[in-house]
Structure 1
Amino acid sequence: MQLSIPESIIQSIRLPESRIEAELLKELALALYAQDLLSFGKARELANLDHWQFSQLLGERSLSRHYSEAELSEDMEYARRQ
């Protein structure tokens, strides 16, 4: 899928042209994650960030990490095995 953004919008974004695509992908990933429409992993993938970088970005935007009891149980089990 490709999204079409009008040229007038692209020109209005106050960023160097070389950063626009990356920043738009981050913003889309954050918005979809905040609305619980994408998982952490898929949002991170969309934003082209690693786990730590996306976690940092969530913190900078004061967005809570969606963390279910099942994920906590998996993490606790993993920690016990280590």
Structure 2
Amino acid sequence: MSILISDEILRSTQMTEFELRQEIAVMLFQQERFTLGQASRFAEMSQLQFQRLLASRRISLHYDVAELREDVESLKESGWR
């Protein structure tokens, strides 16, 4: 699925597409709808970069064993070894 965000929306928010992706990822992470891995991929950032973004906003990680397993599976599916 793809989401198309018009240039008009970006102009009205005064954000770049990258910034808007980050905001959506942070919001969904805070709502526990995204794992850390999902949020960082959506934001097109490494997990470390995304963690730094969260830390800069004083947002704590909610990362449990189930999320770790999910991230490991995602890495395996992407061919990472």
Question: CA separation in 2, counterparts of 1:66 and 1:53?
Answer: 16
Shift, 1:52, TM fit: 1.2
Match of 2:43, as an amino acid? A
| Residue in structure 1 matched with residue 78 of structure 2 by the alignment | none
Match of 1:11, as an amino acid? R
| Residue in structure 2 matched with residue 50 of structure 1 by the alignment | 46
Gaps of 5+ in 2: 70-81
Question: CA separation in 2, counterparts of 1:54 and 1:29?
Answer: 9
Q: Which has the larger radius of gyration?
A: 1
| Residue in structure 1 matched with residue 12 of structure 2 by the alignment | 12
Matched position secondary structure for 1:2: coil
- RMSD between aligned alpha carbons? 2.1
Shift, 1:54, TM fit: 0.6
Matched position secondary structure for 1:27: helix
Question: CA separation in 1, counterparts of 2:46 and 2:10?
Answer: 26
| Residue in structure 1 matched with residue 30 of structure 2 by the alignment | 34
| Residue in structure 2 matched with residue 61 of structure 1 by the alignment | 57
% identical equivalent positions:
33
Match of 1:55, as an amino acid? Q
Question: CA separation in 2, counterparts of 1:46 and 1:52?
Answer: 14
Match of 2:26, as an amino acid? L
**TM-score in terms of structure 1 length:** 0.67
Equivalent pairs, count: 67
Q: After TM superposition, what 4+ stretches of structure 1 lie above 2 angstroms from structure 2? A: 1-11
2:11 is the counterpart of 1:2: no
Match of 2:21, as an amino acid? L
